[in-house]
Structure 1
Amino acid sequence: MKALRVHEYNKPPSLDDVPEPEVSGPWDVVVDIGAAGLCRTDLHIIEGQWEPIQHPPLPYTIGHENAGTVRAVGSAVSNVAPGDVVIMHPLVTCGLCLPCRNGQDSHCQNAVFPGLNVDGGMAEQLLTNARSVVKLDGGLQPADVAALADAGLTAYHAVRKAADVLFPGTHAVVVGAGGLGHIGIQTLAAITSAQITVVDRSEAALELAKGIGAHHTVQATSDAEVEKAVLDATDGGAHVLFDVVGEHGAELLAPKLLRNRGSHYVIGYGGEVRLPTIEIISREINVVGNLVGTYQDLVELMALTAQGRVTLHTKKYPLEAALDAIHDLESGNIRGRGILIP
């Protein structure tokens, strides 16, 4: 089968012929990939940023946002059967460690992460596990939901964590209205009552944001102008700010857009959050990390998607055009999410 594989960091991946995966354990599930999402994390993987954390042996297949049709299952699998259309939680988890038993399976102590430390789904097939597959509603198709497996899941997880404090009269700010941000905006509109302000450099992204739930938009120009516009729109700053950029200065601007006792939810990454400890203390502000989401989060997100309350905006590419898609993502030429179709 064809698979997009990283052979050397800071070099473009290549489309290789590799053996098809096979069921070897009782909980194994082999999926024919119908769509694989392209994520900024894939750019960071190619750059080698994840090597010190995950140590994947090279070469390996990338792709951690995957959906498709079940091809084969192990002897103990009862939740899906061949022919079922599924989306995969990005982690393959054990179910036995304390985080798994507490419902925090995104922190499984024995997890593997297809696309980051074992072969992922930018290929014609993927080997996963019964614990990772979510059977899709009959109206949902892989290309419509694949990127929700990580980008959507991460955005939903952050919003879900903050939902209790985003009651009527509060203000949420989303920095970045691209592939991840546009899902966060929709989930904020779906499950909270907050006023939503969106910051982005792109006029097209801000136009999209207006149509999917944003009450106010601010075009990112100078930091001083953005700060003034956001503080005006929110009557003094965000109660919760969702930074889905996490680099290029967005992570440094974010705390300035908070009101006292506000929370900076870090979702995008690549930069560094720098805050004087006296500012954290005197303003009682919080910095909150967000790592993908739980299996339950993904089930809830699929329910919202099936109800039409979350819609993934995509640009589709054949798997053979993966390098074109990567170039377009690097250049900022993808509105929403890039999707690779084997």
Structure 2
Amino acid sequence: MKAVRVHAYGKEPSLDEVDEPKVTGPFDVLVEIGAAGLCRTDLHVIEGQWADIQNPQLPYVLGHENAGWVREVGSAVHNVAPGDAVIAHPLVTCGLCIPCRLGDDSHCEDAVFPGLNVDGGMSDLLLTNARAIVKLEANLQPIQVAALADAGLTAYHAVRKAQRLLTPGTHVVVIGSGGLGHIAIQALAATTPATITVVDRSEPALELARSVGSHHTVNAAEGSEKLLREVQDITEGGAHVVLDFVGEHSTPEQGTAMVRNRGSYSCVGYGGELRIPTIELVSREIEVVGNLVGTYKDLVELMALTAQGKVTLETTTYPLSAVNDAIHDLESGNLVGRGILVPGS
């Protein structure tokens, strides 16, 4: 089968011919990939940023946002059958550790992470297990939802954690209306009564934000001081929650400055650092929240919202063979929404 593999960090991945994975365990699920999302995390993987954290053995197959159709299942699998359209949670978890038993499966103590430490889904086939698979409603196709397996799931997870603070009359600011941000805007509009303000440096991204549910937009390219004044005016003194989908350059500093006293700065993007005097944390009673990928339950809820038409993806599709074109478009900022790789196209 065809597969996109990383052979060396800092170098472009290549499209290789590799052996097909086989079902060997009772809970195995073999998925014929219909679509695989391209994520900024894939760029960080290629750069080697995850090497010491995930310790993969090179070469291995990229792709942690995967959807397709079940081809074959192990003897103990009863939740899906061959032919079912499915989306795969990015983690393959054990189900036995304390985090799994608490429903915190994204912190499983014995998980593997296809696309980060074992072979992923930028290929014709993906081997995963029954705990990771969500069957799609009849009105959904893999190409519509693949990027929701991580980008959407992470965005939804951050929104779910913020919901307790977003009561009627509150304000939420979303920094970054890209692949994750535009999903979070829809999830906020669908599940909270908060007024949504979106900050981005790109006018096309702000237009996308307006089209999916933002009440206000602010162009960050006009300078930090003007940005903060506008946000303060719109939010009447500061946001109750700031969701930062950039997490680098000046956004952590700006994000914490946008939060009102007793508010929450919730960071999803990464690559930068957050510096804040401890006296400010104490005197303003603000909280700082980190967000990893969501849980299996989060993915089930997100698929329900998607099937109801309340969450949709802005995407650009590429054949699997054009993976490096897609990567270059993402790196250069020419990709609006999410890049989707389609095997066999």
TM interval, shorter chain, is over 0.9
How many residue pairs were aligned? 342
2-side partners of 1:19 and 1:229: how far apart? 56
**Within the alignment, does 1:134 sit opposite 2:134 as a pair?**
yes
2-side partners of 1:12 and 1:260: how far apart? 46
Aligned letter for 1:274?
R
1-side partners of 2:62 and 2:188: how far apart? 30
2-side partners of 1:39 and 1:251: how far apart? 21
The superposition leaves residues 27-74 of structure 1 with CA deviations (integer Å, 9 ceiling, x where unpaired) of 000100000000110011111111111111111111000000001100
2-side partners of 1:83 and 1:144: how far apart? 17
1:67 is aligned to: 67
1:144 is aligned to: 144
Secondary structure of 2:304's partner?
A: helix
Note the C-alpha offset of 1:248: 2.1
1:233 is aligned to: 234
Note the C-alpha offset of 1:187: 0.1
Unmatched tracts of structure 1, length 5 or more: none
The superposition leaves residues 79-98 of structure 1 with CA deviations (integer Å, 9 ceiling, x where unpaired) of 00110000000000000111
Aligned letter for 1:97?
C
Unmatched tracts of structure 2, length 5 or more: none
Note the C-alpha offset of 1:334: 1.0
1:289 is aligned to: 290
2-side partners of 1:251 and 1:327: how far apart? 26
The superposition leaves residues 98-129 of structure 1 with CA deviations (integer Å, 9 ceiling, x where unpaired) of 11111111111000000010000001100000
Describe how 1:17-36 pairs up with structure 2 within 5 A: 17-36=17-36
Describe how 1:258-337 pairs up with structure 2 within 5 A: 258-337=259-338
Aligned letter for 1:291?
L
The superposition leaves residues 135-177 of structure 1 with CA deviations (integer Å, 9 ceiling, x where unpaired) of 0001101110000000000010110111121011100000000
Flag as ranges the 4+ runs of structure 1 deviating above 6 A.
none
Secondary structure of 2:71's partner?
A: strand
1:176 is aligned to: 176
Secondary structure of 1:204's partner?
A: helix
Aligned letter for 1:259?
R
Secondary structure of 1:253's partner?
A: helix
Secondary structure of 1:157's partner?
A: helix
TM-score by length of 1: 0.99
Note the C-alpha offset of 1:336: 0.7
1:246 is aligned to: 247
Describe how 1:182-201 pairs up with structure 2 within 5 A: 182-201=182-201
2-side partners of 1:332 and 1:231: how far apart? 28
1-side partners of 2:334 and 2:122: how far apart? 20
Identity %: 70
TM-score by length of 2: 0.98
Note the C-alpha offset of 1:252: 2.2
2-side partners of 1:251 and 1:20: how far apart? 43
2-side partners of 1:228 and 1:180: how far apart? 25
Higher mean C-alpha deviation, range 246-255 or range 316-325 = 246-255
1:204 is aligned to: 204
1-side partners of 2:52 and 2:234: how far apart? 41
Aligned letter for 2:335?
I
Note the C-alpha offset of 1:229: 1.1
2-side partners of 1:19 and 1:310: how far apart? 36
1-side partners of 2:80 and 2:180: how far apart? 28
1-side partners of 2:133 and 2:210: how far apart? 33
**Within the alignment, does 1:84 sit opposite 2:84 as a pair?**
yes
Note the C-alpha offset of 1:211: 1.3
2-side partners of 1:226 and 1:14: how far apart? 42
**Within the alignment, does 1:109 sit opposite 2:109 as a pair?**
yes
1-side partners of 2:120 and 2:249: how far apart? 28
Aligned letter for 2:275?
R
Aligned letter for 2:201?
R
2-side partners of 1:270 and 1:194: how far apart? 28
1:43 is aligned to: 43
Note the C-alpha offset of 1:273: 1.0
Secondary structure of 1:328's partner?
A: helix
Note the C-alpha offset of 1:208: 1.0
1-side partners of 2:216 and 2:70: how far apart? 42
Higher mean C-alpha deviation, range 87-96 or range 226-235 = 226-235
2-side partners of 1:272 and 1:286: how far apart? 16
Aligned letter for 1:29?
V
2-side partners of 1:298 and 1:308: how far apart? 15
2:157 is aligned to: 157
| Structural RMSD (CA) | 0.7
